[in-house]
Amino acid sequence: MVYAENILICIAVPLAIALMFLRGAVRRFDFAFLSGMVTCLLAAYIGGFFAQVSGMGAENVSIFLSPIIEEIMKLLPVLFYLSLYEPKDTELLQAAVGIGAGFATFENCCYVLSNGAQNLSYVLIRGSAVGVMHLVSMVALALGLHLLKRYKVFTFSGIMGALSLAVTFHATYNLLVSEPGVSTYIGYALPILFALILYAQTHRYIERGE
């Protein structure tokens, strides 16, 4: 049994206090990171509810339901930030990265606390696969939203399109790692590979923004 709320309080309090002493981009990132952790907890509640209602097994929930619920939950704070504060492109990206990193960190914390952290290689894989996957899906989502904003087609269909792309990426990863064997290794490598591709595509625009 993992007391996720207690873990959240333990990690979130120093970050929340740190907000008082931070300004600018660092403060934005810190707040986004916190939001990501809270989002992760809420996604776990909703996921648990749907798992009960649908009667699916744990594996089927992680393959079919979790990607949809988690990506929708991660999209909500980004959309909230976008519609309320009208951020610049780099600010949007920073917030999305913060939410993704916060989500992944909290998920990993809960996972490590419930399954132990004795095996270094497994913990490393956990960090560089699932952790990076949440980050990559958020960067892709932010890029999609940036595109919609740039071409002034910030419509429901466009947002849903960007969201669905993130959901599919997440679902493909979960499917690949669900079965032992070669597919698992491909799954573990996928987030890092996409992170590198996205970095190659975005680093110029990040530097330009700065």
Positive or negative CA dihedral for 115, 3, 167, 134?
A: negative
- How far apart are alpha carbons 159 and 4 in whole angstroms? 30
Question: Does residue 32 contact residue 102 with C-beta atoms inside 8 Å?
Answer: yes
Q: Assess 151 for contact with other proteins (CB under 8 A).
A: yes
Q: Assess 160 for contact with other proteins (CB under 8 A).
A: yes
- How far apart are alpha carbons 208 and 210 in whole angstroms? 5
- How far apart are alpha carbons 133 and 38 in whole angstroms? 18
Q: In angstroms, what is the minimal distance from the CB of 104 to other proteins? A: 20
**Could you tell me where the beta strands, DSSP code E, fall in 39-173?**
none
Q: In angstroms, what is the minimal distance from the CB of 179 to other proteins? A: 5
Q: Within positions 75 to 134, which residues make up the interface with other proteins, using CB under 8 A?
A: none
Choose which of 74, 167, 188, 202 interacts with other proteins (CB under 8 A): 167
Q: Within positions 13 to 72, which residues make up the interface with other proteins, using CB under 8 A?
A: 60, 64-65, 67-68
- How far apart are alpha carbons 36 and 95 in whole angstroms? 10
Choose which of 130, 148, 188, 191 interacts with other proteins (CB under 8 A): 148
What tokens were used for 102?
Answer: 């916060």
Choose which of 72, 76, 123, 175 interacts with other proteins (CB under 8 A): 175
Q: Assess 209 for contact with other proteins (CB under 8 A).
A: no
**Where on the chain is the footprint of other proteins (CB under 8 A)?**
60, 64-65, 67-68, 144, 147-148, 151-153, 155, 157-158, 160-165, 167-169, 171-172, 175-176, 178-179, 183
